[in-house]
Each structure stands twice: as structure tokens, then as C-alpha cells.
Structure 1
Amino acid sequence: MSTLALPAPGLLDPARPEPLPRADDLPAQITRSGLTGRGGAGFPVGAKIAALRRPPAAIVANASEGEPLSAKDTVLLRESPHAVIDGLLLLSDALAPRAALTIMVHPRSAAGVRAALAARPDGHRVRLQVAQERFVAGEATAVAAALAGGEQIPADHPHHLTEKGLRGGPVLVQNAETLAHVARIARHGAEAFRSAGSAEDPGTRLVTIARPEGAESVLEVPGGATLREVLHLAGTEPGMLDAVLVGGYHGRWARPEQLDLPLGPRPAPGVHGAGAGVLMLLDRGRCPLAVTTAILDHLAAQSAGQCGPCVLGLPRIAASMHDLEAGHGDPARLRRRLEAVAGRGACRHPDGTAQLAASTLTAFGPELTAHAAGRCTGWRR
């Protein structure tokens, strides 16, 4: 069971710089807390730290936020930048006091974070770097490439970054929200973190509520909350929706009959994977095929240009969805194109794009049939 109770103060409550607590047992506290990464992969943070072969050469707070619909890291850094900075410094104190520390931010967050660092006596320990504006910029190897002065695109890396990432040393990249949770755990302990959420998904997470035109609000919700509960917290009537895209542009569609399933760190039977923490609402009357086609066009254009599945496969996937929207496409042909890119990319961009397209085929069968017959059930594109 999940509890809708939230800890106080919340992640988005403004916080002033305070003396940092001791970080001696922080890795153990993080492991006991059950904290998972909030950047999209949902990997246990304690396990990621344990995978380090030696102290990291660099630790990065990743707020690149290349997902077009996401605003959670931007809002977090606007409302409570010191929580993120505290988490970064505490993790360094626990793992590698000599590590190079960087906050990688979307351009819209740069001025506020710069001011927050300047207001702290320990702000000189952290370097601010502005991310390049592209969808794949937030991928961990893209962040590492930018740290090294290169183009911020993913790399087909033979080693995990926790083994080798920057000048031969390990790099630990954590999402900005994840580090805000680290600071909360350091100050209040693992059990306080676990007091919210569920046993399977402890703590809270930030969720961006969006529509196809962009982000609308950011909420802090308990782990294990169902989609219906999150929608009610957002003041949205579920009965007015035709579907929800869960996880952002690399996510999956959920239909009304799936709203009582919980959000979790990763997709699993009976669980919606939170992904990038985005819930894009599809109002009744919107054509899901038109909305998906526009997203696939964007994803194809955001290719890093490094492998065939991205350069060739993603435009073909988008073209197949255009054909289906126009009423003369072949779902079987699209499925073959999805199979051709699965697991073959230099990064996970082709896999995420294929996941969205496959979910569309599964969720909107009647709409595909209607379009093939020359009709569209949506009145608005």
C-alpha cells in the first residue's frame, strides 16, 4: 500500500543553505532507503554507488532536462537549488572529497543556480555548466562527453561510467532530483525517507503534468501512487482524458482502464514506469495518432547521427506512423521497422522511440482501424 502523505518540508519547499551533516554512513543510508534514480532509468542509487571500482574522478548533478515536456528539474532548481547542491556536496564528502563537482543545467536554470552557488560559502566547490539543448543531452555518456569538452551526445561506451568515464577515472552522474533526495536522507535518515510511498517504491518523486503543447505543473507525489491518484492531486478529472503518456517521449500510453495501476521506478507487470517523470495528458477529442506522429518526428530529428538505427531507422518509423495517420499505412510494416532498431543503437534513443511507437499500436487499435476507413475519432489534432 502507498500512503499519499508527503514529508515536510517537501522537495519544492524553499531551503536556505545550512551546515552539512556528516556523510560517513551516507552510502549505507542510501542503500537502506531504497532510493532509485529519478532521471529515467530508475536504477537503485545504492547499487550504482557500489558499482564504483574506485572513488569517482567527477560527480555530476544532471539537470540537462532534454525531454521537451519535463519541467521538474527546472522547478526544483528554481524553488530549492540548495537541496540539489547539498546532495552533490554530501555525496562527494562520502565518496570522493577531491572529485570534480559539476551541476549540468538547462539554459533556463543557469542564472538561478549561479546565484545559489554564489550565496554559499562552499559554492566554490561546484562548477556550473550549461547543457546543450537537445533531447539526448541528458544521457549519462553525453554528460560525460560534455565534461570532457566534446559535443553533448551519447557514446557507444565500452565501459560503464562507474568504471571509466573522464580522463580514465569513474564518473558518477545523478539526476538533480535524486541528489535532493540524497540530501534529505543525509539529514533525516533512511527511515524518514521510507515513511512516504510504498515498500516497493519508497519516498516521493517529482512529476511533470503536461499536455502536447508543453508542461503545465510539477507535483511531488508519493511512490506507489496510482495514475488516478496523481491526476486527482493535479486537479484533473480522469474521465475527461482518453489516455496518458507515462514517462515522456520515450514512454508508454496508458488508457483509462489502466489508471488504477501505480507509478514505479521501472515498467513491470501491473506498474507504470515513471521514466522521466512526465505524464502527458491526452484530452478526449485529441487524435492520438496525430500527437504520436508529431513526437516521432521530433525524436527522429534529435538523432545524434552516430548509428544506422537512429539515422535511418527513426525517420522510417516516423514515416510509417504518418502513413497510419493518413489511413493507408500498414501496422505490420511498422512493427518490422521497430524490430529492426531494437537493441541495435549506439544509445537507448532508438529503443525509447520504438517503445513509444509500439505502445501506440497496442493502445489505439480502434483508432488505427478508424483511420484506415477514412475516419478519425478525434476532432482536434
Structure 2
Amino acid sequence: MTRAITVANIGGPRLTLGFERFERLDLDRHQAVHGRLSLPPLDDLVKMCEQVDMRGRGGAGFPFARKLRAVAARVVHPSADQAGLLPGERGETRRPAADAVVVVNGAEGEPGSQKDKVLLGRAPHLVLDGAQIAASALGTQRIVVAVESDEAARSVRAAIGERRLAARVVRLTERFISGESGAVIRAINGETPIPPGRKVRAAASGVDGCPTLLSNTETFAQLAVLTSLGPDLYASAGTGEEPGTTLLTIGGTQVVEAPYGTPLAAVLEHCGVPPGPGVLVGGYHGQWLGPAGVGRAVLSRAGMKAVGGTVGAGIILPLAEGTCPLGEVTRIASYLAAQSAGQCGPCRLGLPDVVRAMNALTDGSGSADDVRRAAGIGRGRGACSHPDGTARFVLSAVEAFAADIEVHRGGGSCGLPVFGVLPLPVPDGSEGRVAIDWSRCDGHGLCAYLVPELIQLDRYGFPVVLGTDVPSWLEKDVQRAVAMCPALALRMTGDLSGTPARRS
């Protein structure tokens, strides 16, 4: 991990048990802390997950028992008929159970998330326990762990070696959309790691076209804890409707395990982080809460929904005092537009329009209605959830920072700089980048219009390069902007070719 990540807990550790004593739990330490692996049969495992209403921790919150049943419905397994198969699936052709695949999705494309990297780096055996529990219940030994971090990959490989487990690690290119389930499956299959453009259920056709159980890193760790504790003890933390704990990443640098039902304000206070003018909950596809909403928010699906927020993938990003809220939101909107797969109209055309509307709002020449109009055009029509998530992020900001918008409209600025406090990835040089020759630049601003995903204008009309790598789908637009720059000040550096997924 490139930044120092602190780990803490509220109300007692479960996933983070042993972290206070060990930097990393090898197999012996893991077994001493969590006990030896228990492998319940499929029907028992499904019942346990249903009893505590276990949900995925990757953002969508899909019931894990339903995923298990969906995969079990498509394989020949002695206990499959006891697991409550989904309606209409009994007549489908089934594959041998050994063909099924369990995928641990450790691809944290979001710059503000660190929890999965922490789990894979410090408690890899807890994650592998969960994967092995699910695989055993389904009657397969095929386990794949998809990761982006070099450190996480090394940790998982070492853990696999200690366990002598028949599992493999697949390295992914770190991008915002790389954690989308379809993108992960495509990467494992050796294809371009972007969402497939059409909805394909992994349970029906995933890795190598086989039934695939895919969930994120924390979900498998939670499954291991549930199996170890049992449903009753597992439910002793959290709320009656949402038992257990969850991991949060606060401000991009602190990972906290907290029980459901904990007030959001208490989590921020525990971390020593003031809420500032607003708090983003759920990450860059999440929603902004103003101070009043933060004060009422409770860490749970129902509690967050009550104040217009979401738990999502557990990413909490408070906005610091002294930075321009609209400038920060526009900066992230530009990043999200550049991070799309560029394979459908809402991404290729709609998201740049959203960025232009946000730029106009920031310099005082636009309106909130312009942003709403731009964000609403492509909603529900994208090839994946990226345009909808980006629209949700921007529209919630328009509501949360309404007073700031009026200040900008009155004076063209709120007078505050944009410090860039919301985290963005550091480009690794694997793709090309945009650069400006300042001895030539005259501030024409054409480049910001042609590639708003990569370039914005400051208050004086001069371009500001966001510093992100150029995705392959934007290469032609960048080349056109370079060719059309009146002062010949714009240029490209580095290699304009994507980096494929790496296997091991």
C-alpha cells in the first residue's frame, strides 16, 4: 500500500482480530486466533447465511445465500436440491460440481477504499477460509483471487502456499471499473477487463463459461467468521435486522471495523475526523450528506437510506474545511468520466456533458438544473452501472452544496482553492498522459472542451490537467485535442496502450 493505513475497531474486533498483536497472520497465527477451518454442507451454509441475512460487502448488498443457491442450481451436487433452488431453474442443464468456480473479488478500483487490501495483506487466511468454505459447499476446488495490489498478491500467494491450496491469483489493472463483476470475469478469462456491455449472471456463465460464485474480499472473510462463530454469536453484534460488523475506510487512510447500528458521527469521532461541510458515503458512486444528515446517520442499510445515503462498499470521505466543495466534486466527476469503459453513449457522450455542466457550475456560469439535465439523460441506459453511479454522486452534491452553488453564481467563485483532498490514484505510467508546455499555452481553453474528462480550466481560464492516465477509448479525442491546440502547447507522454490483466 502506498499510504500508511491505520486499522482500528469499535466494540471489539472480529475481522481484525489479532491485528493488535500481529502485522500479518500466517497460517499458525490465523488458526490460533480464529480456530481451524470448518466446512459445513451446502444446505447448512445457506441456512446460516439466511439466518443472519448476510449481504455482500462490495457495494450492492446482494444476499449471499441467493448467490450460493443460484450457483448450486446449475451444478450437479448431492445437496443442491436441499438448498432451496431459485424458481424455474430445476429444469436447466447442470454442469458437474467440480466445474464451479469461486472468485474472490479483491479489485478495489475506488481510490478511497483500502479495506480489502488490508484484509488480503494482513488476514489472507480468513479470506481464503471463506472461499474454501463456499467452494467445499458447492463441491468444487476451483478458487480464483483477483487482486490489483502487488502487496496483496504477494500475501495471498504466500497464504495459498502455506495451505497447499489449489487456488490461483489473477492480477488486474487498477481502474475504477475493474472491480465490476463482469470486468473481473473478463479479466480472469484473459479478455479486456471492462464490463461486458450486457448483463451476464456469473452464476450462469462466469469463469471459462462455468457457474461462478463471485463476491468481494470482505464478504468471504465475513463468511469465515459466521461459520466459526455460528449464527447466534455472530448476531450478538449489530442490529436485529442487520447483524454483524463491517469494515469502513475513512478518509482513504483509516480502516475501521464497526458493528451495524453505530452512529456515523461516532465513527468519525473515533477516527478523529471532523465531518466538515459534507461527507461522502458509499464512495464515488455514493451520495453526499450535509451536516444535518451526518448527525442523524446510522451505519446500516436502513439507517443510511433514511438520510439519503448508502453504506455501499464502506467508503466514508469527509470533505475538509477550507477547500471548494464544487471544485472537489468537479475534479472527481472528471476522473469518473475518464475511467469509464467508453463503450456506450451514456459514458462516451453523457459523462463529458456532466463534467462540462459541473465546470460551468463551478465558474458561476451554469446552474444546478443544467447539471441535473446532463446527469439525467443517460440514467438507466448505460451498458453498466457506471453512468448511473456517477450521476448519483453529482446529483447528491448539487443538493448537499446548494448554498455553495449560490455563492459561485453570485461571484464566479467561493474564494476557496481546490486542495484535492478527495483521493485519486497516482498514475503508474502504464498508459499515456497529457502534458502542457507552459511556455506556449495562451489559455485558449479548447483542450478542456474537447477532453473535459482529463482537463479543466482554472478561474483564469488556463488548463489544469487532472493527472490521470489516458484510457484507451479516449486516445483519439486526446490526439484530436493535441492537433487542434492553437498554441501547440498540448502534448502526450508515455505509452498510449492499456495494460492487460496479469495471471499467476
Please give the TM-score of this superposition, normalised by the length of structure 1: 0.92
Q: State the AA in 1 paired with 2:16.
A: G
User: What is aligned with 1:144?
Assistant: 185
2:75 corresponds to 1:75: no
Post-superposition Cα deviations, 1:13-55, rounded to whole Å, max 9, x if no partner, equal 3544344213222222112122111111111211222233324
In our comparison, the structure showing a higher alpha carbon Rg is 2
Does the CA-based 8 Å contact 2:288-2:309 persist in structure 1? no
Does the CA-based 8 Å contact 2:300-2:311 persist in structure 1? yes
Equivalent residue for 1:226, pick from 263, 272, 275? 263
User: What is aligned with 2:131?
Assistant: 88
Give the aligned length: 370
Of residues 292-301 and 153-162 in structure 1, the stretch that sits farther from structure 2 once superposed is 153-162
Equivalent residue for 1:57, pick from 82, 100, 104? 100
Does the CA-based 8 Å contact 2:362-2:412 persist in structure 1? no
User: What is aligned with 1:320?
Assistant: 357
Report the CA distance between 1:257 and its aligned residue: 0.5
User: What is aligned with 2:278?
Assistant: 243
Counterparts of 1:369 and 1:70, CA distance in 2: 32
Counterparts of 2:331 and 2:238, CA distance in 1: 35
Does the CA-based 8 Å contact 1:245-1:252 persist in structure 2? yes
User: What is aligned with 2:64?
Assistant: 45
Counterparts of 1:289 and 1:93, CA distance in 2: 50
Does the CA-based 8 Å contact 1:309-1:350 persist in structure 2? yes
Counterparts of 1:178 and 1:273, CA distance in 2: 17
- Call closer, same or farther: CA 1:113–1:166 in 2, change over 3 Å: closer
Report the CA distance between 1:7 and its aligned residue: 4.7
Equivalent residue for 2:408, pick from 358, 371, 377? 371
User: What is aligned with 1:269?
Assistant: 306
For structure 2, list consecutive stretches of 5 or more residues without a partner in the other structure. 1-9, 76-98, 419-504
Report the CA distance between 1:169 and its aligned residue: 2.3
Q: State the AA in 2 paired with 1:192.
A: L
Q: State the AA in 2 paired with 1:114.
A: R
User: What is aligned with 1:120?
Assistant: 163
User: What is aligned with 1:10?
Assistant: 16
Of residues 164-173 and 143-152 in structure 1, the stretch that sits farther from structure 2 once superposed is 164-173
Q: State the AA in 2 paired with 1:293.
A: T
User: What is aligned with 1:97?
Assistant: 140
Does the CA-based 8 Å contact 2:101-2:140 persist in structure 1? no
- Call closer, same or farther: CA 1:271–1:29 in 2, change over 3 Å: farther
Does the CA-based 8 Å contact 2:176-2:339 persist in structure 1? yes
Q: State the AA in 2 paired with 1:59.
A: V
Post-superposition Cα deviations, 1:184-206, rounded to whole Å, max 9, x if no partner, equal 11111112221111122211111
Equivalent residue for 1:299, pick from 313, 322, 336? 336
Counterparts of 2:373 and 2:307, CA distance in 1: 27
User: What is aligned with 1:380?
Assistant: 417
Q: State the AA in 1 paired with 2:362.
A: E
Counterparts of 1:119 and 1:378, CA distance in 2: 57
Counterparts of 1:27 and 1:265, CA distance in 2: 22
Does the CA-based 8 Å contact 1:15-1:83 persist in structure 2? no
Report the CA distance between 1:209 and its aligned residue: 0.9
Does the CA-based 8 Å contact 2:181-2:195 persist in structure 1? yes
User: What is aligned with 2:6?
Assistant: none
Higher-RCO chain (CA-CA 8 Å, sequence separation at least 6): 1
Of residues 64-73 and 156-165 in structure 1, the stretch that sits farther from structure 2 once superposed is 156-165
Counterparts of 1:15 and 1:72, CA distance in 2: 16
Equivalent residue for 1:285, pick from 322, 328, 348? 322
Query: Does the residue aligned with 2:207 lie in a helix, a strand or coil?
Result: coil
Report the CA distance between 1:380 and its aligned residue: 3.4
Post-superposition Cα deviations, 1:151-203, rounded to whole Å, max 9, x if no partner, equal 11111334322222234322211100110000011111112221111122211
User: What is aligned with 2:40?
Assistant: 23
Does the CA-based 8 Å contact 1:12-1:79 persist in structure 2? no
Does the CA-based 8 Å contact 2:117-2:149 persist in structure 1? no
Query: Does the residue aligned with 2:102 lie in a helix, a strand or coil?
Result: strand
Please give the TM-score of this superposition, normalised by the length of structure 2: 0.70
Query: Does the residue aligned with 1:119 lie in a helix, a strand or coil?
Result: helix
2:217 corresponds to 1:163: no
- Identical columns (%): 39
Query: Does the residue aligned with 1:180 lie in a helix, a strand or coil?
Result: helix
For structure 1, list consecutive stretches of 5 or more residues without a partner in the other structure. none
Report the CA distance between 1:263 and its aligned residue: 2.4
Post-superposition Cα deviations, 1:284-327, rounded to whole Å, max 9, x if no partner, equal 22211011011001000001011010111111101110110011
Post-superposition Cα deviations, 1:53-107, rounded to whole Å, max 9, x if no partner, equal 3247211111110001111111111211110011101110111324x21010113
Equivalent residue for 2:173, pick from 127, 132, 137? 132
- Call closer, same or farther: CA 1:329–1:12 in 2, change over 3 Å: farther
